[in-house]
């Protein structure tokens, strides 16, 4: 367990994907680098880039991937060696498959119809069943990632179809779960979004081509203009002549992942018509209406609770003030997960502004409580600094159920709300009161967008298997 995990006590997304086609035959690796850097919050385990030259020899794809952050895996010399005007990139946080170089993406290979590279965000819930079927037909696997299952399904279908798009269209009908795919064959960039729309994917226009990305903030990072979100079940193909759209034959009622709006997505992104900042501020306003209390200041846990805290302050009329100073330069040191070291890790990342806190009644906002360890430590820090009261408000409902679609939700026993009532949690973390966002307020938070909230209510939009 690393320091990041100890201090944040957060859920994690699986991956971020990025793809670009440049019609003026400009090398795209630097653009992919900047796009992936803006998606770094979605995964910090590994990073990879695969590119090809649409004017070069048939089947040319060059690639590099490695463990670590984008800036650790790629340097100028490495980027300069990746020549091509068409490419995809990936940042990974694993929920399926171990953290190792074999599971880093994109996956690149040669098959009967040429070469293919694929990057994937999400989780294929029937991957083990599909993997067994492929292995029974002689397929040899080199990783434990469900992405390799998707890769081989597409390659198998392509061997007897007239185009890679049609191969993908057939292959994805076999998949269950949430996923966003970016794929390159030597002349095409293809994006796919699962029929539920669980995983995000959007389309942008650059100065000389088109871009696909998990979030709109990655488009902004390279100066591209947002066009639209890829629709649930849509397959979009980009070539030198522009883009075209198709749909997989499996259709469902959309169920966009609510936790993108609560925590995963970057604050400056827009997703399925909803500005992320607006959704989080609205959650804070809804909390203030549901759980008002007399206090002196409203504050948020950096950085996950800050926007909701501002919304709470605006709605309640109680002044907003920071109570923590965040240290952003602690690195990624590995330490043992003892309770004492957890406390030290929290103090290393966040220090209390004593003069702001002393004698004050504080409303402290965060986006979630998963295990409760970090929140308990923060409350102790505030009370040791002289806080008179600490009232905790959470801008999501209690986590009660696992996620099967690519969010790293712990097992039931590790979820504090699964084992304890809100009153018991309040006592365990040392808060003076505790209030969660009401389940019915989630829809208002995202202006009625159809959402998946199964981690809160257990109502899964699709059978996991």
Mean pLDDT for the chain overall: 90
CA dihedral for 37, 39, 40, 45, sign (positive or negative): negative
267 domain residue, yes or no: no
**Domain of residue 40, residue span:** 3-254
Question: Are residues 315 and 221 both part of a single domain?
Answer: no
Contacting residues for 421 by C-beta, under 8 A, at least 6 apart: none
Q: Indicate whether 342 pLDDT > 80.
A: no
212 domain residue, yes or no: yes
| Selected catalytic residue, list 15, 202, 403, 452 | 15
Ranking 32-41, 390-399, 415-424 by mean pLDDT, the lowest is 415-424
Cα separation, 119 vs 232, in Å, equals 18
- Read off the pLDDT of residues 112-164 as tens digits, 9 standing for 90 and up: 888 999 999 999 999 899 989 889 888 888 888 889 999 999 999 998 899 99
260 domain residue, yes or no: no
Angle at 435 between CA 376 and CA 350, to 5 degrees: 35
The residue among 254, 288, 310 that closes a domain is: 254
- Read off the pLDDT of residues 33-55 as tens digits, 9 standing for 90 and up: 999 999 999 999 999 999 999 99
Token pair listed for 232: 């649930």
Question: Are residues 234 and 108 both part of a single domain?
Answer: yes
- Read off the pLDDT of residues 218-248 as tens digits, 9 standing for 90 and up: 999 999 999 999 999 999 999 999 999 999 8
Q: Indicate whether 6 pLDDT > 70.
A: no
Question: Are residues 435 and 338 both part of a single domain?
Answer: yes
307 domain residue, yes or no: yes
Question: Are residues 290 and 160 both part of a single domain?
Answer: no
Concatenated DSSP letters for 142-206? Answer: --S-HHHHHHHHHHHHHTTSSSHHHHHHHHHTT--EEEEEEEEETTEEEEEE-TT--S--EEEEE
Residue 202 falls in the annotated catalytic set? no
240 domain residue, yes or no: yes
Question: Are residues 84 and 225 both part of a single domain?
Answer: yes
- Pairing between β-strand 107-111 and β-strand 451-452 as defined by DSSP bridges: unpaired
377 domain residue, yes or no: yes
Q: Indicate whether 315 pLDDT > 50.
A: yes
Question: Are residues 245 and 202 both part of a single domain?
Answer: yes
Q: Give the CATH number for residue 412.
A: 3.40.50.2020
Stretch (H or E) spanning 211: strand 209-213
The helix-helix angle for 276-290 and 306-316 (nearest 10°) equals: 50
The structural domain count of the chain equals 2
DSSP helix, strand, coil percent of the chain (3-state; round to 5): 35, 25, 40
Cα separation, 371 vs 418, in Å, equals 10
Question: Are residues 69 and 208 both part of a single domain?
Answer: yes
Q: What is the pLDDT of residue 5?
A: 41
Question: Are residues 282 and 391 both part of a single domain?
Answer: yes
Question: Are residues 242 and 313 both part of a single domain?
Answer: no
Neighbours of 77 (CB within 10 A): 7
Question: Are residues 410 and 441 both part of a single domain?
Answer: yes
- Read off the pLDDT of residues 76-94 as tens digits, 9 standing for 90 and up: 999 999 999 999 999 998 6
Residue 213 near residue 28, CB atoms below 8 Å: no
Question: Are residues 53 and 118 both part of a single domain?
Answer: yes
264 domain residue, yes or no: no
Question: Are residues 238 and 374 both part of a single domain?
Answer: no
Q: Give the CATH number for residue 27.
A: 3.60.20.10
Q: What is the pLDDT of residue 333?
A: 43
Token pair listed for 2: 């690393």
387 domain residue, yes or no: yes
């Amino acid at each position: 367990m690393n320091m990041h995990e100890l201090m944040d006590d957060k859920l994690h997304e699986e991956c971020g994907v990025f793809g670009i086609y440049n019609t003026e035959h400009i090398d795209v690796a630097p653009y992919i680098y900047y796009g992936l850097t803006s998606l770094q919050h979605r995964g910090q385990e590994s990073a990879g880039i695969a590119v090809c030259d649409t004017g070069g020899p048939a089947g040319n794809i060059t690639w590099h991937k490695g463990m670590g952050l984008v800036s650790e895996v790629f340097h100028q010399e490495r980027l300069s060696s990746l020549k091509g005007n068409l490419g995809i990139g990936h940042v990974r946080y694993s929920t399926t498959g171990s953290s190792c170089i074999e599971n880093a993406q994109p996956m690149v290979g040669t098959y009967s119809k040429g070469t293919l590279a694929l990057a994937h965000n999400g989780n294929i819930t029937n991957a083990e069943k599909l993997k067994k079927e492929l292995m029974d037909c002689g397929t040899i696997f080199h990783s434990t990632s469900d992405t390799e299952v998707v890769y081989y399904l597409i390659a198998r279908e392509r061997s007897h179809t007239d185009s890679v798009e049609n191969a993908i269209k057939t292959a994805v009908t076999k998949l269950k779960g949430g996923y966003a795919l970016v794929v390159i064959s030597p002349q095409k960039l293809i994006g796919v979004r699962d029929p539920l729309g669980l995983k995000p994917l959007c389309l942008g226009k650059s100065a000389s081509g088109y871009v696909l990305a998990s979030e709109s903030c990655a488009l902004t990072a390279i100066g591209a203009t947002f066009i639209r979100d890829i629709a649930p079940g849509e397959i979009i193909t980009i070539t030198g002549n522009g883009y075209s759209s198709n749909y997989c034959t499996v259709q469902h009622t959309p169920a966009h992942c609510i936790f993108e709006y609560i925590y995963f997505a970057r604050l400056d992104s827009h997703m399925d018509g909803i500005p992320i900042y607006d959704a989080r501020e609205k959650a804070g306003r809804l909390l203030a209406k549901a759980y008002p209390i007399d206090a002196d200041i409203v504050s948020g846990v950096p950085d996950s609770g800050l926007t909701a805290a501002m919304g709470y302050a605006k709605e309640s009329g109680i002044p907003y003030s920071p109570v923590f100073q965040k240290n952003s330069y602690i690195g990624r040191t590995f330490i043992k997960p003892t309770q004492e070291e957890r406390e030290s890790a929290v103090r290393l990342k966040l220090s209390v502004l004593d003069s702001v806190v002393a004698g004050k009644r504080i409303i402290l906002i965060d986006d979630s409580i998963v295990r409760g360890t970090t929140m308990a430590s923060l409350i102790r820090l505030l009370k040791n600094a002289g806080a008179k009261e600490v009232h905790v408000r959470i801008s999501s409902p209690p986590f009660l159920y696992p996620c099967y679609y690519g969010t790293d939700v712990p097992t039931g026993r590790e979820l504090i709300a699964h084992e304890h009532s809100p009153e018991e949690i309040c006592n365990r973390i040392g808060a003076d009161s505790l209030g969660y966002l009401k389940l019915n307020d989630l829809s208002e938070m995202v202006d009625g967008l159809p959402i998946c909230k199964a981690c809160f209510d257990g109502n899964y939009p699709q059978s996991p298997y």
